[in-house]
A = this chain, B = another copy of it.
Amino acid sequence: MTRIPTPGEPVRGSKSGAPVMALFDLLGRRWAMGVLWVLSQEEPCTFRQLQEACETISPAVLNTRLKELRAAKLIDVSADGYVLTPLGRSLHPLLTPMAKWANNWAKALAKS
């Protein structure tokens, strides 16, 4: 598997491992934000529920993302499935505005 982005260590795009760059590396992988989004909407989720919610994700990638997000302490596994950690939940307020912003964006693109 690929290296898991960790703040403080070199990541793609930053030899210094500036935390924000590590975050961009982590979230900038396919489905990473999607998985967090789904979990923030409905929790807990089983592996198959996540797979279905993401419509086209392949199990291999889902599993890879889950491992990464677990290593990053954003999600955790409970008896009932995958859940957000407190840390992961604290990311939610940053993700929520994106949905609103995306709607405006859609409107702006539609106009032009």
How many copies of this chain?
Answer: 2
Closest Cβ neighbor of A18 among chain B residues: B102
Assess whether A20 is in contact with B108, with CB atoms less than 8 Å apart: no
The yes or no answer to A46 lying at the interface (CB within 8 A) is no
Tally of chain A residues near chain B (CB < 8 A): 47
Given contacts A20-B99, A99-B19, contact A57 B13 (CB under 8 A): yes
Interface of A is mostly: helix
- The answer, among B13, B18, B99, B109, for a CB contact under 8 Å with A73, is B109
Closest Cβ neighbor of A29 among chain B residues: B28
CA distance A105 to B5 in the complex (A): 12
- Nearest 4 pairs between A and B by C-beta? A19-B102, A7-B106, A19-B106, A23-B102
